[in-house]
Structure 1
């Protein structure tokens, strides 16, 4: 029985050692090769004195080294921290210090961007660069407290007799995934081995995945939805095709080239895919596609079904704090296309009032997720954990005394047949391009720009992005055009693309309420009519 993250690979290697586990461009790696390489990386970790509980940051695109680095952690009981490769130095610096990353694995280009801040990485002791040789490593300026190694040197220093035995438990932390909260900096969500393995089992069960599937992974592996493409694939012994795409056409070409049977994406990518040409017979192999990370517009769903007529669509809802909560069966899409569906396997969903009592049919309440997919809380953030992870309501059927429930912060309702419908979010989180963005975090970056005196961030509906970010700015610079250029350049230096405001609007002052706080509700009402800006 598969219990730990590394066993997702090792058990498939035992069953089908020669089956292809990973395809990256024209390179293929069998399950036997992948399992052997994971062991080598784990042995090399021991040489660097990595032990149980240490955090290892992986700041890479989709490469074999990325996959090996994450799964090798499980053999030692170390904790992998996948970092979205589009994040900039400031965001990486925050994550590394927040969870005290001891070892960082990256490439030359990303290390170059991090170099000015390396002296401020408080716990970092070693950096491994996957695409540099020893001569190139010697030329990299680095604080004396941090050692830089090439990947090749790192692997050759391993000892085959290094002890990989650990006393890990299924409920120990396996990974920390960072996701923005409604206020402040990103929060690290702690996932246990059970969370990850059972999540893979749940998804592979309702998608009916088998060893014959070729699954296309286009989403970031730092995203629970993206990571699950790997884990569910490895669980059943299927082939996972890793793709870092630039254009929607790259995805379509990959579907045809690798005879993809299943793929997952977020609404912005699906929308892009409907706007390009699909050559005839491109999708003959696709048997399912899935959506999460936001509502998929019905016209987009219709276009996708037209381009993939034989494929079954699965519309899913979830939050990283509980992996995934519900999915709408393909059999129900024509009947109730606006529904979130019902609970996934291994999850129980309640809809509750503010007092914790159960809502009646069609009564709006908060979605509460119960069961073994509920994660371990936020890394070293007891206040935020207590706000989101609470005692399981008494009416839960599968109540486990040792587990907490996740209160989602989302308002939903459930009809008489048990189908869920999303109503609205309780907090101010912006969801754009499949990512969650904290307005507070974005405002703090903007306020570092000299041209910005005050700022407020709002979001307006966008068919392409889910929500489009607007920055409302007060500036003392009378040349607004030059200010706008400076602000945009500042954002491009400091933020990933999905966080950069789509529009900048200058105001003489920000409206405030009676308590002196910025009246964001007033701003939203005024600018929700500005949809023609996007």
Structure 2
């Protein structure tokens, strides 16, 4: 791809496929030329609002053709779209406004301001009038200029605004499409908010590659199955929580025509092993490619088709990137030795908007470049811990701040979660620790049971004692009807820890 920036890349796609459907939702569809015209409307609205090059436009909406046009309109004006999902709460919205200091906040008419939220100048997307602009005008943004701000999920603390450049996103989109085998004639179903980095990547696939995207009526098993039946997508992209619900007992997936799907892909954490097996059984004709990455790196690793599943496996680096394991002193770890996972090479973010301290902690000089190199390079220190196995694959052990030391032994919450899923009793599991004066960390497990499970608490306790070492064994359980979620659909671990703290204190 030779486009200088995302607006030029989008314009080239429109020129190739003006009458192809860009989006489908229910009975409605929008072509690329329609998308471009609506983006021109937003472009003029931004000009009238005083938006200039480098200004941030906070786009606070759910997936729709309106948000897609609002994003492209910002690129066209050399502004920087900052993305927030409509489901976010007042604290997250206000944090985004403080961080990005946007010239303008764009929202849908149906999105009400959270009580007490202060956001500044507002633009209602549906009120943006038609405009007459020359769509051939080129954006001035360079490949190294900031292209967007996507906020982290907040699952490990206050959300931070990750800044990626135009060039990074164009190259990363092409690299991912290459190893996944995505084709221009694919139809993509991605029930993930575009404000989440993985969902945003799927929107980029539509904008840059020309892949038609299906917007489901709801991000639920019923909404997904309706979209599968109606639009017959060839690619299904999702998150572990989504696949867990899709393969759950109340889902209509097994009565849905799944035959057109040829590729299933994910990111956002490990798919529980029983869910992954059910997914492969339900879609026997589809290639399943599992991915690992952070908002800061777009994508880092993938597990090639045919590699046997095992807990924590995140695979090999994607084209254009390298992933290494480093010790605390910055030296390379040996094979099988645990250390921090570091992403080097392409797709490294520019940093966190308006947060130089956090940027300095995460984006550091490349540990593999020799001393004296004029430009020390840049690498993302992920905060994830793992090791490289004998086959050269990276195996994930857990977040640096989530790994537990129980009874003097380091244990991985992910491994405990894997064993809980293997019980066949739980729909969802989340393991974390609390400081304990004797144990070091006391292991807690929050679980939701599968529909129809009886006597689940006693059965799960007996099972855990049979399969886990004493250091891994959960000492306390939180039995949940539903797990708390972040706005991106991930399990909200801070909320669970707060609940555990309250119980322990009471």
Shorter chain as denominator, the TM-score bin is 0.7 to 0.9
Secondary structure of the corresponding residue to residue 322 of structure 1 = coil
Match for 2:375 among 394, 397, 401? Answer: 401
Secondary structure at the counterpart of residue 6 of structure 2: coil
Q: Distance in 1 between matches of 2:180 and 2:143?
A: 24
Q: Is 1:265 matched with 2:238? A: yes
RMSD: 3.6
Q: Structure 1 residues 98 and 15 mapped into 2: Cα distance closer, same or farther (>3 Å)?
A: same
Match of 1:15 in 2: 16
C-alpha separation between the residues in 2 aligned to 1:50 and 1:458? 51
Deviation for aligned residue 1:195: 2.2
Residue 232 in 1 paired to residue 240 in 2?
no
- Measured in 1, the distance between the counterparts of 2:333 and 2:157 equals 32
Deviations 1:189-235 (A, max 9, x none): 11111222122112111111112100012101111101111112332
The one of 349, 363, 370 aligned to 2:337: 363
- Distance, in Å, in 2 between the alignment partners of 1:190 and 1:235 is 19
2:352 alignment partner, SS class: coil
Instruction: Spell out, residue by residue over 1:326-379, the C-alpha distance to the aligned partner (whole angstroms, 9 max, x if none).
Output: 000112145x57521100112111111111111111111111101220000111
How many residue pairs align between the two structures? Answer: 438
| 1:414 counterpart (352, 377, 388) | 388
Q: Say if 2:213 is the partner of 1:218.
A: no
CA distance 1:459–1:34, shift in 2 (3 Å): farther
- Residues 31, 217 of structure 1: CA spacing in aligned structure 2 closer, same or farther, 3 A cutoff? same
3-state SS in 1 of match to 2:111: helix
Q: 1:505 to 1:374 in 2, by over 3 A?
A: closer
Q: Distance in 2 between matches of 1:162 and 1:282?
A: 40
What is the CA–CA distance in structure 2 between the aligned matches of 1:244 and 1:19, rounded to whole Å? 21
Judging changes above 3 Å, is the alpha-carbon distance between structure 1 residues 424 and 505 closer, same or farther for their aligned structure 2 residues?
A: closer
Which SS does the other structure have where 2:168 is aligned? helix
2:196/2:488 contact within 8 Å kept = no
| Alpha-carbon distance change, 70 to 458 in structure 1, aligned in 2, over 3 angstroms | farther
Q: CA deviation at 1:107?
A: 2.6
Stretches of structure 1 that go unaligned for 5 or more consecutive residues are: 131-150, 440-456, 466-490, 512-534
Correspondence list, 1:28-177, <5 A: 28-113=29-114, 116-118=116-118, 121=119, 124=120, 126-130=121-125, 151-152=126-127, 154-156=128-130, 158=131, 160=133, 166-177=139-150
Q: Which residue of 1 aligns with 2:445?
A: 460
| 1:229-271, Cα deviation, whole Å (9 max, x unpaired) | 1112332212111125253122122112111111111111111
Name the CA shift for 1:323/1:400 in 2 (closer, same or farther; >3 Å).
farther
User: 1:313 and 1:179, CA in 2 relative to 1: closer, same or farther beyond 3 A?
Assistant: same
Paired residues of 1:200 and 1:228 also in contact (CA < 8 A): yes
8 Å CA contact retained: 1:43, 1:163 = no
With structure 1 as the length reference, what TM-score do the two structures score? 0.74
Aligned counterpart for 2:223 among listed residues 250, 254, 265: 250
- Report Cα offsets for 1:40-69 as digits up to 9, x if no partner: 321331122111111111111111111110
TM-score of the aligned structures, taking structure 2 as reference length: 0.78
